[in-house]
């Protein structure tokens, strides 16, 4: 409103200035018209003086004067109503005049002077009117300059009275929001506030209602997550990390032991051949060199034997495992590690219990699920199932990803061989090692139309009444 008043005052001042400039244009045009008439009078006076001195006035001079009068009469700058009539009369007289007509010049000059006097009289009247209008405009401008700030101050006080109270109330409400006070504003209080602010307070009530619902959901979810995280972390996270690290080192040791075992056979043949060669050579320089080679071969063989011995480990003790609870605990942990775009569930009979190495089975399933997650960066579904089939415990992990490479299905699992960028190639190798250590079998397959399936088959050992710990 205040801005509107300022703009209105400025527009009024601009209008008055424009009106003043507009009135100057007819004054300038009339001055030019009067100057033409004065110039015509001077030309007639010069011609008349020439005739009075005895010099004949030529007909061509009279024609020039007539043309000048005709041109002036055709202009629109005249203000006196008789100006055009008098100029036309002068034009006719000059057109009928003969050369040397001094008397006629006297008459026409007098007529021109009357025209000039009439125009000057009208010019003075026009200046008087412009002066009056200018004075009125000055008074109006001064009035606007005086009333404008007054109206501006009144409007500011009015706006301040209407806006200040709602703003203070809204400030208090926002401070309550910062303290998580989500109480709505009663309708009775809203009715006491200016009607302009009613929509803002109704919107605030809708906001706090939504915030109350979100806060309740947040508290419930926070409590649930806290319980699940505490349980999952205590049950699996520390154990999975340590076991995973140990399994990776064991897998590397198994590979090293396999290489050592394979190298010992050819080394034994080489050592035997060198011994025969040493006996054949008898004594001498070459025999000494062969003896040095035999000693070095013995050292290497001893080193490889130590490597094989270091790879041997004690088997994990068996315990009574409730398979459904073990998998549920694993999924509880995994749901905090996998993206929301991947769905994971399990179908396990609730009464399925058997003697198993619980930590090893958990780590094997963890490796399989993480492999499935990494194979589906765009999202998908993972399912774990377990059942008893022909005296064996069958545990399957299936996904909806691209499936296994044909080379892997054809050649089989090889340590450190991976088709995924950044993969270690040890995940499936550790799972296979776990299954074989417990007389089981590992089966890889692709599903139709897409997806991979990994099935672990372990000998079923029913729980014994005593002598085994329980994993519940």
Residue pLDDT, tens place only, 353-390? 999 888 889 889 988 998 899 889 889 999 999 999 88
Residues forming CATH 1.10.287 domain(s) in the chain: 199-313
Q: Which CATH class is domain 319-463?
A: alpha beta
pLDDT above 50: residue 469 = no
Task: Please state which CATH class domain 199-313 belongs to.
Answer: mainly alpha
Q: pLDDT for 18-37, tens place per residue?
A: 666 666 677 777 777 778 77
| pLDDT tens digits along 228-251 | 877 777 666 656 655 665 566 566
Delimiting residues of CATH 3.30.565.10 domain(s) in the chain = 319-463
What proportion of the chain, given as a percentage, has pLDDT over 90?
14
Predicted pLDDT at 388: 92
pLDDT score, position 368 = 92
Lowest mean pLDDT among 130-144, 293-307, 425-439: 293-307
- What is the 3-state secondary structure of the chain? CHHHHHHHHHHHHHHHHHHHHHHHHHHHHHHHHHHHHHHHHHHHHHHHHHHHCCCCCCHHHHHHHHHHHHHHHCCCCCCCCCHHHHHHHHHHHHHHCCCCCHHHHHHHHHHHHHHHHHHHHHHHHHHHHHHHHHHHHHHHHHHHHHHHHHHHHHHHHHHHHHHHHHHHHHHHHHHHHHCCCCCCCCHHHHHHCCHHHHHHHHHHHHHHHHHHHHHHHHHHHHHHHHHHHHHHHHHHHHHHHHHHHHHHHHHHHHHHHHHHHHHHHHHHHHHHHHHHHHHHHCCCHHHHHHHHHHHHHHHHHHHHHHHHHHHCCCCCCCEEEEHHHHHHHHHHHHCCCCCCCEEEEEECCCCCEEEECHHHHHHHHHHHHHHHHHCCCCCEEEEEEEEEECCEEEEEEEECCCCCCHHHHHHCCCCCCCCCCCCCCCHHHHHHHHHHHCCCEEEEEECCCCCEEEEEEEECCCCCCCCCEEEC
């Amino acid at each position: 409103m205040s801005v509107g008043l300022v703009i209105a005052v400025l527009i009024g001042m601009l209008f008055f200035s424009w009106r003043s400039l507009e009135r100057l244009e007819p004054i300038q045009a009339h001055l030019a018209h009067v100057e033409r008439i004065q110039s015509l009078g001077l030309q007639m006076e010069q011609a008349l003086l020439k005739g009075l001195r005895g010099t004949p006035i030529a007909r061509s001079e009279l024609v020039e004067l007539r043309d000048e009068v005709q041109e002036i009469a055709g202009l629109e700058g005249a203000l006196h109503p008789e100006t055009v009539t008098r100029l036309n009369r002068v034009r006719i007289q000059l057109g009928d005049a003969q050369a040397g007509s001094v008397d006629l010049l006297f008459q026409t000059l007098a007529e021109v002077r009357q025209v000039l006097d009439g125009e000057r009289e009208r010019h003075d009247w026009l200046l008087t009117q412009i002066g009056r209008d200018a004075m009125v405009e000055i008074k109006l401008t001064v009035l606007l300059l005086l009333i404008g700030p007054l109206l501006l101050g009144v409007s500011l006080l009015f706006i301040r009275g209407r806006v200040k109270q709602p703003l203070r109330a809204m400030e208090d409400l926002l401070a309550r929001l910062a303290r998580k006070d989500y109480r709505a504003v009663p309708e009775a209080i809203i009715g006491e506030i200016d009607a302009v602010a009613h929509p803002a307070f109704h919107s605030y009530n809708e906001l706090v209602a939504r915030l109350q619902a979100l806060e309740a959901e947040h508290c419930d979810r926070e409590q649930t997550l806290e319980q699940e995280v505490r349980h999952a972390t205590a049950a699996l996270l520390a154990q999975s990390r340590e076991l995973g690290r140990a399994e990776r080192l064991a897998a590397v040791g198994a590979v090293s032991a396999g290489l050592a075992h394979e190298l010992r056979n050819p080394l034994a043949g080489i050592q035997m051949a060198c011994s025969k060669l040493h006996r054949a050579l008898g004594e001498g320089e070459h025999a000494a060199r062969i003896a040095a080679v035999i000693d070095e071969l013995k050292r290497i063989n001893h080193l490889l034997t130590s490597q094989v011995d270091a790879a041997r480990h004690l088997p994990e003790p068996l315990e009574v495992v409730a398979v459904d609870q073990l998998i549920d605990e694993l999924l509880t942990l995994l749901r905090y590690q996998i993206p929301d775009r991947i769905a994971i569930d399990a179908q396990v009979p609730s009464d399925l219990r058997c003697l198993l190495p619980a930590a090893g089975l958990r780590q094997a399933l963890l490796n399989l699920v993480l492999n499935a997650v990494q194979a589906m960066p765009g999202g998908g579904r993972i399912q774990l199932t377990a059942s008893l089939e022909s005296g064996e415990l069958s545990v399957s992990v299936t996904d909806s990803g691209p499936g296994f490479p044909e080379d892997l299905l054809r050649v089989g699992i090889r340590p450190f061989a991976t088709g995924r960028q950044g993969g270690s190639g040890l995940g499936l190798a550790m799972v296979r090692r776990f299954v074989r250590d417990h007389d089981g079998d590992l089966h890889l397959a692709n599903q139709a139309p897409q997806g991979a399936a990994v099935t672990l088959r372990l000998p079923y050992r029913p729980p014994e009444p005593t002598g085994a710990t329980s994993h519940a």
